[in-house]
Every structure is written in C-alpha cells, then in structure tokens.
Amino acid sequence: MPKVGYTEAERKQIREALLDTGLELMAKQGIQHTTVEQIYNQVGISRTFFYSFFPTKEDLIVEAFYHQQPRIIEYMQNLKNNPDLSLHDCVKRFIYDCCYGKENHFAIMTVEDQQAIFKHLSAKNNYTFRERQIDTFTKILAVFGVCTDESKIKLICNQILSIIIVRKAIPDKLPFLFQESADEMVDFQIDTLVEFMETLQKERE
C-alpha cells in the first residue's frame, strides 16, 4: 500500500532521486528518449506523486541541468588537480567524455531538446537559465585561471557546447557532414579553443 504522508526530509530525498535518475537516463539514452514513466518507476513512486514535484517533463529537465552544473564544476576541478594533465588535456577529456564517455557522461541538450525547452520556458525562466549557464562557465574557467569578461565567457560556452552538440549529431542528425572526419574535426576545434583560453590566461598574468 502506497505511503500517504511524507516528511519534508523524505520529499527532499525523493526529489533528489528523481533528478539523479533523470540525469543518469538522459545522459545514457538522450533527453527525447527518456520518459517521465522511466524516471518515476526507477525511483519507485507513482505518476501522480511525480507530478507533485515537477508539473511537466520540461520542468524536471531544467532542474536536472541546474542539479548537474555543480557536478561539472567539481569534475573540472578534479581534472585540474591532476598534475599530469595540461589545460589542453582537461578540456579534451571533458569534451570527449560528453561526446563519447560513459562513466563521466553528462546530459547534453540536442538542437531539438533546446527548441522544446525554449518554447516551454517563460521569459523570466529563460533569463534565469542563461544566467546560471554563464555562472557555471565562469566558475569552470576560473578553475583554470581564466577570468575574463562576459562576452568571452559566452563565446567559450558557445564553442564548447557547439563542439559537443555537432559531434553527437553526426551522422544521424547531420548526415551531410563527413563522419570519417568527425573526430579530427573535434580535435581541431579543441586545439583552437585551448589556444584562445591560453591567451586569456596570459592576459591575466
């Protein structure tokens, strides 16, 4: 028989489990292929109870991305703390994990995912999402001693996300790009990106 009453602590724990489970499934199988039913079944609650936490799937997705942001920062800090890894190695490891990785794989929105979420967000929530994204990348760059203005932070954010999104879209969603050159393309883009970040590091010195 399902439990009727939950304490605030229990609700908080269930909410965390929903976000963790959602992120895990979205990272493994993509956002579009992850259903609300999969998430609440894995957590062990009912559909009705799920919707008392998140009115829509889109609401869960947005909160899951907020939930993921500190983990990305911590992950980058752990890479930075490895004395055997250069800035180039750290950036490459992160991007490769997002594109190909399993254990350290983060949930990434496809173009279709972004369009769907954007339509769902109010102007205020869209502003909040963007501000939190800028804050996350500001902290990531600070880990590597790159402190710069907002316009360059947005540029680096665009570069990193576009590398990941385009690579993950080849060949299924972008069939006219050459699949055999996809990995070489990623390496070239990473080299260019790191060169730019190293320039910003030197400007700070």
Residues 128 and 173 both lie in one domain: yes
Whether 88 and 190 have beta carbons less than 8 Å apart is answered as: yes
Residue 33: Cβ-neighbour burial (10 angstroms; 0-12, 13-18, 19+): exposed
Q: Kindly tell me if the per-residue pLDDT of 144 is higher than 50.
A: yes
Residues 6+ apart with CB under 8 A from 110: 30, 31, 32, 165, 168, 169, 173
Question: 99 and 4, same structural domain?
Answer: no
Please say if the pLDDT value at position 158 is more than 90.
yes
CATH code, domain carrying 2: 1.10.10.60
Shared domain for 144 and 87, answered yes or no, is yes
Q: How much of the chain, in percent, has pLDDT values that exceed 70? A: 96
111 and 78 share a domain?
A: yes
Whether residue 191 sits in one domain with residue 178 = yes
DSSP symbols for 22-59: HHHHHHHH-STT--HHHHHHHHT--HHHHTTT-SSHHH
Do residues 161 and 99 touch, judged by C-beta distance below 8 A? Answer: no
Residues 42 and 92 in one domain: no
| pLDDT for position 100 | 82
Are 87 and 46 found together in one domain?
A: no
- Check pLDDT > 70 for residue 187: yes
Domain count, the chain: 2
Q: For position 101, what pLDDT does the model report?
A: 67
pLDDT interval class at 64 (50, 70, 90): very high
At 203, the pLDDT band (50, 70, 90 cuts) reads confident
pTM of the model: 0.89
Per the structure, the complete domain to which residue 75 belongs is given by 56-204
Task: Give yes or no: residues 46 and 29 share one domain.
Answer: yes
User: What's the average model confidence in pLDDT over 96-106?
Assistant: 77
For residue 63, give both structure tokens. 């909160």
Let me know whether 133 and 112 are in one domain: yes
Same domain membership, residue 109 and residue 14 = no
pLDDT averaged over the chain? 93
Residue 113 has pLDDT above 80, yes or no: yes
Q: Are residues 80 and 32 in the same domain?
A: no
Choose the final residue of a domain: 9, 25, 54: 54
Both 76 and 168 in a single domain? Answer: yes
Domain boundary among 54, 76, 92: 54
Confidence class of residue 104 from pLDDT cuts 50, 70 and 90?
low
| End position of a domain, from candidates 12, 34, 54 | 54
CATH number at residue 84: 1.10.357
